[in-house]
Amino acid sequence: MAELSLTHVRFSPRRYVSGLGLAMLLAAAALWLSNQPAVAASGLGALTLAMIAGIVAGNTFYGRLASCDAGVQLAKKLLLRAGIVLYGFRLTFQQIADIGFSGVLTDLLLLSSTFLLACWLGRRVLGLDRDTVWLIGAGSSICGAAAIMATEPVIKAEAPKVAIAIATVVLFGTIGIFLYPLLWHWCATALPGITPAQWGIFTGSTLHEVAQVVAAGHAVSPETENAAVITKMLRVMLLAPFLLILTFRVGRSGQRNLRRISFPWFALGFIGVALFNSLHLLPTALVNEFNKLDNFLLAVAMAALGLTTQFSQLKKAGIKPVLLGAALFVWLMVGGGAINLAIQHLLA
């Protein structure tokens, strides 16, 4: 029995091959398609196309490919984080500093207001249980599924509630990938004073998942994408203090639960790479190769996210968690837009 258990936990690269291969195949197809003139003219970028391909595959034949799950999960988590760290080669310290204070202030206001709104709506209006409300609130206000998974051990939530929360934030974050670029074109006409960088701050401070922020910003412009990623990374780093406050809120032992606090180290890696890139120590040709690799890694992660976006999960969730997720999504767009405009006006 001991030998069987040891074999079970031993790392085996083979179990990841099929899932990684599928995600990479979809990503490669999306990258090729995005370079075709007709598709490029439509405004659909490689990351959005990878997400669409993943969703189509995820809700058709992927359910019958159980052997792919390990590799797809690896792509969705590890490769996404690697892609975000490498994204730092596109940025400099000056760009981070330009967004720094306004980005942190915007993120703080949106995190606290969104989570508190989730608590009030979920408990008082919809009558949902505390754990489901806190999980959806954390996912909506910070960084999607990653925040939900980090919150789960702190509040000891049951697995079905975790799955429901992830399904709701993935649903509305995915809608945001397609909606935000459309809103940009409308806002650029209605509010001509808004710059692509300001739209990037709005995107990074209001969309759920890191991958969704990258895709939505990429669909507008490189300037928007850069501002969105910086703002999102600042928002992701708020996960650790949020979990610390939540730990003391549930009244557990400080020493025991501090070990459970998750810190998003990849966000620090992203900032470190950007700072290194500001020194211009590497040849431009090598940095360009890093950026090409980064594009591919992010496309693979988007395809993997699409593969795991299952519409069947929403049927299990019921209407109330979906209503809560929808209300928070609307708040992030409308209230988040108002907060962004107010801060940009005050700091102008």
Indicate whether 41 belongs to any domain.
yes
The number of domains in the chain is: 1
| Nearest residue to 111 (alpha-carbon basis) of 241, 225, 218, 221 | 241
Indicate whether 1 belongs to any domain.
no
Indicate whether 61 belongs to any domain.
yes
Indicate whether 235 belongs to any domain.
yes
Round to whole Å and give the CA distance between 334 and 206. 10
Distances (CA, A) of 206 to 26, 191, 333: 27, 19, 7
Handedness of CA 14, 18, 23, 24 (dihedral sign): positive
| Nearest residue to 317 (alpha-carbon basis) of 172, 165, 196, 210 | 165
Domain assignment of residue 275, given as a range: 17-346
Write the DSSP assignment of 68-83 as a string of letters. GHHHHHHIIIIIHHHH
Indicate whether 169 belongs to any domain.
yes
Rg (the chain; Cα; Å) = 20
Round to whole Å and give the CA distance between 279 and 276. 6
pLDDT at 2: 40
Between vectors from CA 58 to CA 55 and to CA 61, what angle results, nearest 5°?
135
pLDDT at 183: 93
Indicate whether 122 belongs to any domain.
yes
Q: Contact 117/328 with Cβ under 8 angstroms? A: yes
DSSP 192: T
244: helix, strand or coil? helix
pLDDT tens digits, the chain, 348 residues: what are they? 344 444 444 556 778 888 899 999 999 999 998 888 877 666 667 777 888 888 888 888 887 777 788 888 888 888 888 887 888 888 777 777 777 788 889 999 999 999 999 999 999 999 999 999 999 999 999 888 778 877 877 788 787 787 788 888 888 988 998 899 999 988 888 877 889 999 999 999 999 888 889 889 988 999 999 999 889 888 888 887 888 788 777 765 444 444 455 566 777 788 888 889 888 899 999 999 998 898 899 889 888 888 887 777 767 767 899 999 999 999 999 999 999 989 888 876
pTM score, two decimals? 0.75
pLDDT at 50: 86
